[in-house]
Amino acid sequence: MTIGLTHFLVLAAFLFVCGLMTILLKRNAIGILMGVELVLNAANVNLVAFNYYQHPGSAAHPLLTGQIFAIFIIVLAAAEAAVALAIFLSFYNSFSTIDVERANEMREQG
Amino acid sequence: MPTPALLLLIATLLPLASFLLLTFVGKRMGEPLAGYVGTFLSGGSMVLSLAALAMWLNASPGADYGAGIGPIVQTFAWLPAGLSATTSGSLEVGIYIDSLTIALFSTITLVATLVHFFSVGYMADDERFARFFTYLGLFCFCMLALIIAGTLVQMFVFWELVGLCSYLLIGFWYERKSASNAAIKAFIMNRIGDAGFLIGFGILFYHLGNATLPQIWVSLGRAGMLTSGEGLVLAGGTTFSYASLTAMGLCLFLGAVGKSAQVPLHTWLADAMEGPSPVSALIHSATMVAAGVYFVARLFPVLTIDVKFVIAIVGVTTLTIGALVAVVQTDIKRVLAYSTMSQLGYMMLAIGVGSWVGALFHLVTHAFFKSMLFLSAGSVIHATHHEQDMRRLGGLYKRLPITALTFGVGVLAIAGTPLLGGYYSKSMILTHAAAFGLTAEAAGRSSGYWLLFILPAVMAYVTAFYMARCWMLTFAGRPRDQKIHEEAEESWVMYTPLLALMVMTVMPSRYIGVEDLVTRSVKEAQRHCESIAGGQPYRGFTTMWPVTPPTEAKSLTAGDVNSMPDIEPPAVTATVGVIEQATRIEHRWAFWAFAIGILLAAAMYLRGFAIADGLMRIAPLRWFHTVLLRAFFIDELYNALFARTTRAASTIIGLFDQYVVDGVVNAVAFVTKQLATLAGITDRYVVDGVVTTTAAFAQDIGAAVRTPQTGRIRVYVTALVLVSVLAVAVTVFVMMF
């Protein structure tokens, strides 16, 4: 059995659902951040897979668009994590917790 | 600019400097420094005027100005405005300087300086000492600017300003109700005259634009020769009809009537004596009231025959009323006030009969002796601690010898004693009035014209009588109030100016040369007008009615004008023979007036009121006395005619206002209020109902929509995912089928 595009897509879907579930079910902000990382990486897998199987380019001129895109997303995820952690820290300073259920200040109170 | 003009402009501005200086630092200077500063600046003005006079008399032969040569005429653009087709688009101001201007400058500044100096003594210990000199400075500036003005618009501005100064100074002691009333009265009476001035000026402006004096003279110079129905054709081709000319002349003359206290606007002058005596000396005898005469004299060439006739009638009425009323007054200043009015009447009469020189000559001599009389009266009043009633004075010659002397000289001068200034000017006016009567008779007119000579001649006797009476009651006889008498004493600050003025009065007027100067100013004006009109002979100033024929046929030729001697009264150049005859008449009937009047007064009043009180027992005389004492009831007449009717009218209008106008307003207000209540109900139930319903609806929607907004991120994300899945599912479903 050769490994094809479908396998990668299934893997990516699995990762995506895992991340999504983490985001939805976790109350801990750090956990949610992890879920976000999973979702992003699922997208990365898709990008690399599509690049490899659908638009590999020629031997002399290989196309690496998807892979480069994946690297950009990794960098972006790192930056996003930094920002998110700073927000959580600030949140913790205000509420002494990082439970996202408590983050409902924007809602009309009462 | 020629030097004399420059000197006179500086002389004009020095009192302004005095005014500004004293306005800002006068109070700090205090007494008596503020007074001496004012005196000094006024004195500077006098020195400059006299210097200008000297330069004027000794003008270099090559110059185009100087005594008997020509005037200085200069104009400056003032307001750039397209006012009229005849002016070059800008309102011009200018100066006009001739011998008359310089003579009046010298007179005014001399009198003003002496009055300033006198006031230092007179106003001593007054709480508003500095302010008095501030006002005096402003007045001198305005008066000089009025005299030097070259256009009517300037004249009007300064005309109003001297009126303002007069108002301020009459009401200087405004704590006294009578003083503030007198100030208001003077202001209103002048305002009536000024309205006339403005209307007359408007008529002139309509035809000529803002013309300078010589332009007016040249354009309208033939006005005096017109008969009714004719008209003057102006440069622009428009016609200035005789009716308009007459209306213009009468309106302008009305301004002079107000300012110079002529009948019927004369009532303010006697009340104006509420002001301090130096003010009466400067403003209400020597300068401002004479401005009316000056003004009419300047406009002499544009006056039609009818206007001159009205002027003569008004003048003769004024001089008669003034002289008669002065006979019975017991307030020393009111005697002088009515006397001033009477003398101004002489000047107006002179202008009316064409004696241009006589009027202005008398103006100058009168300025000297009347200001001396007023200052002497001021000296008496100051010495007796403000006692003006002659019934409580008397015998003061022992206590105030110098004042008695100066007042006595003034009495002699005004009575027309030969060799004193007043004699020459008064006899000139009477002579010309007689000449007028002769020519009227020769022309077959009514003998009523002789009244213009007879009344002034009779009043010359009366003048001598009432002035001598005034002196007798004040200085001669026994003191009627011992306390006043013993406290009276005079001070050097006050009698020095009196002596200076006495020198000016005693000095034979021919020697001073006032008459020459006034006569030469006519010559200058004529020459100037001729040069403007391209050499045509100019007769505006020498026209005397009713002699002068209305046609040009008998007009003087150019040769006549040029061969005219320098010093001849211009009014009578055409009728030299008549003048000699008139002089004889005048000498026969009026020469001894001074002596007869004074002797009669001495006989009656040397011992006080005894004889006069005896005469008062005769009923008709007593009635006549009452009529005179109340000045012919003219004040009462005006009160009944204008004040009462105005008050009655305002009461009626007040009632109308209260019941009709207020009623309408109240009704409208009531209806409005009811409508408003109705509208309020509508508002509350209909409009508010709609608004409330809308708001409640919006609120309900908001509440419904708000429900899913929990603020929980996970709920949002769940919704996001579900919607995405649903969207994909729908898309796939649609694409499959």
Q: How far is B712 from chain A (nearest CA, A)?
A: 6
pTM of the predicted model as reported, rounded to 2 decimal places: 0.76
In degrees rounded to 5, what are phi and psi of residue B455?
-60, -50
Question: What ipTM does this complex have?
Answer: 0.75
Say whether residue A87 is in contact with chain B using an 8 A CB cutoff. no
Q: What digits encode the pLDDT tens for the residues A55-67?
A: 888 888 888 889 8
Chain B hits for A25, CB-CB cut-off 8 Å, are 714
Q: Could you give the CA distance from residue B664 to residue B657 in angstroms, rounded to a whole number?
A: 10
Q: Whole domain around residue A58: which residue ranges? A: 5-109
Res. B616 pLDDT band, cuts 50 70 90: confident
**Residue B599, CA distances (Å) to B328, B368, B455, B472, B604 in order:** 17, 24, 21, 11, 9
For residue B553, pLDDT beyond 90: no
Q: What digits encode the pLDDT tens for the residues B315-371?
A: 999 999 999 999 999 899 999 999 999 999 999 999 988 888 889 999 999 999 999
CATH number, domain with residue A93: 1.10.287.3510
pLDDT of residue B89: 59
Average model confidence (pLDDT) across chain B = 86
Residues belonging to chain B: 737
Task: Answer whether B271's CB lies under 8 Å from B279's CB.
Answer: no
What dihedral angle (degrees, nearest 10) is formed by the CA atoms of B75, B80, B83, B87? Answer: 40
Say whether residue A104 is in contact with chain B using an 8 A CB cutoff. yes
State mean pLDDT over B158-185. Answer: 93
Chain B residue with Cα closest to A21: B718
- Nearest to residue B349, comparing CAs of B272, B283, B428, B288? B428
Look-up: residue for tokens 């017991």? B330
Interchain proximity B721–A105, CB inside 8 Å: no
Chain A hits for B712, CB-CB cut-off 8 Å, are 100-101, 104
Chain B residue with Cα closest to A106: B711
Structural domain total, chain A: 1
For residue B563, pLDDT beyond 60: no
Interchain proximity B712–A105, CB inside 8 Å: no
Which residues share a beta bridge with A62? A57
Chain A hits for B713, CB-CB cut-off 8 Å, are 32, 100, 103
DSSP B231: E
Q: Could you give the CA distance from residue B452 to residue B168 in angstroms, rounded to a whole number?
A: 36
In degrees rounded to 5, what are phi and psi of residue B55?
-65, -35
Q: Could you give the CA distance from residue B13 to residue B447 in angstroms, rounded to a whole number?
A: 51
Angle between helices B288-298 and B129-148 (to 10 degrees): 10
Interchain proximity A104–B718, CB inside 8 Å: no
